[in-house]
Amino acid sequence: MIDIESVEAIIFNLGGVILNIDYPKTILAFDALHEADISDIYSQDDQADLFDAFEIGALSAWQFRNGLRKILKIRCDDGALDQAWNAMLVDIPLPRIELLEKLRSRKRLFLLSNTNPIHKLAFDKIFKATCGDRYGHLDQLFEQAYYSHHVGDRKPNLSMFQRVIQEQHLEPSRTLVIEDKASHIAGAKKAGLQTYHLTKKETLIDLPWLQLHQTKV
């Protein structure tokens, strides 16, 4: 059980924590593109260098798409490729957005995500579809959103967590990281941060210590 009263700031991961992700959907979508098998080069637990480079902004969307076409030996337009790549992005349930809205009046909230420009366009549309005109984009729920392709770094690198700590003047022992990947939890612990590993069997809404009635005004 996390002592939420001692926590001043919370750093959330996006995929698997706020945004529901279904990796097999992207694998199946690429399989439908001329039977292209992406599973050997991309999964939740491992990925080829092409994806790492795209996540840290070392490749443009154009370069990434062409790299995928070359590796998978497929011919398809940008729209079809993006649709397959984005297939894993499922939804952002409204109760999670409402929970973040309540929490941000009592805690400093940050977003720290390994992502890329194609996915960001897609999940901002998903977010907009869920909350309507209440927000322009997902970033507005947080004091600051850190995206790997914007900062040129990615989790689980220690430097990624240290960037947030230093730029936001956070006290690591009073800052909680909520992540769904064990390797990212390990990286956060190296930075001295409190951590909570969110498993596939639970969601943010299932954590009683994170709910509004558990937090002092």
Final residue in a domain of this structure, among 86, 108, 139: 86
Looking at residues 44-67, what average pLDDT do you find?
A: 89
Distances (CA, A) of 109 to 102, 191, 215: 11, 18, 14
Which of 10-24, 41-55, 130-144: highest mean pLDDT? 10-24
- Do 17 and 32 lie in one domain? The reply is no
Question: Which of 35-44, 68-77, 175-184 shows the lowest per-residue confidence on average (mean pLDDT)?
Answer: 35-44
Whether the CB-CB separation of 31 and 49 falls below 8 Å is answered with: no
User: Average model confidence (pLDDT) for the chain?
Assistant: 92
3-state DSSP percent of the chain in helix, strand and coil, to 5: 50, 15, 35
* pLDDT at residue 212, rounded to an integer: 57
Final residue in a domain of this structure, among 36, 59, 86: 86
Decide if pLDDT at 215 tops 50: no
C-alpha to C-alpha distance for 140 and 59, rounded to whole angstroms: 26
* pLDDT at residue 47, rounded to an integer: 74
Question: Which of 35-39, 67-71, 176-180 shows the lowest per-residue confidence on average (mean pLDDT)?
Answer: 35-39
Whether the CB-CB separation of 16 and 198 falls below 8 Å is answered with: yes
- Do 182 and 121 lie in one domain? The reply is yes
In which domain, by residue range, is 133 found?
Answer: 4-21+90-214
C-alpha to C-alpha distance for 199 and 81, rounded to whole angstroms: 30
Higher pLDDT, 107 or 48: 107
User: What's 155's DSSP letter?
Assistant: T
* pLDDT at residue 48, rounded to an integer: 81
Distances (CA, A) of 58 to 52, 54, 92, 114, 152: 9, 6, 28, 13, 7
pLDDT band at 46 (very low <50, low <70, confident <90, very high): low
Decide if pLDDT at 77 tops 80: yes
Residue type for 139, please? D
Looking at residues 93-102, what average pLDDT do you find?
A: 96
Element (H, E) at 176: strand 175-179
* pLDDT at residue 110, rounded to an integer: 99
Looking at residues 54-77, what average pLDDT do you find?
A: 93
CATH number at residue 66: 1.10.150
Final residue in a domain of this structure, among 40, 67, 86: 86
Q: What are the DSSP calls for 7-60, one per residue?
A: --EEEE-SBTTTBEE-HHHHHHHHHHTTT---TTTB-SS-B-HHHHHHHTTSS-
Higher pLDDT, 42 or 163: 163
- Do 128 and 75 lie in one domain? The reply is no
* pLDDT at residue 49, rounded to an integer: 87
Whether the CB-CB separation of 128 and 137 falls below 8 Å is answered with: yes
- Do 50 and 104 lie in one domain? The reply is no
- Do 210 and 160 lie in one domain? The reply is yes
- Do 103 and 177 lie in one domain? The reply is yes
For the chain, the domain total comes to 2
- Do 79 and 111 lie in one domain? The reply is no
Q: Is residue 177 classed as helix, strand or coil in its secondary structure? A: strand
- Do 33 and 127 lie in one domain? The reply is no
* pLDDT at residue 214, rounded to an integer: 44
CATH number at residue 114: 3.40.50.1000
C-alpha to C-alpha distance for 18 and 12, rounded to whole angstroms: 8
Percent of the chain having pLDDT more than 90?
Answer: 77
Phi/psi at 33 (5° precision): -85, 85
- Do 75 and 133 lie in one domain? The reply is no
- Do 116 and 184 lie in one domain? The reply is yes
- Do 13 and 69 lie in one domain? The reply is no
Summarised one tens digit per residue, pLDDT across range 174-214 is 999 999 999 999 999 999 999 999 998 999 999 999 985 54
- Do 10 and 33 lie in one domain? The reply is no
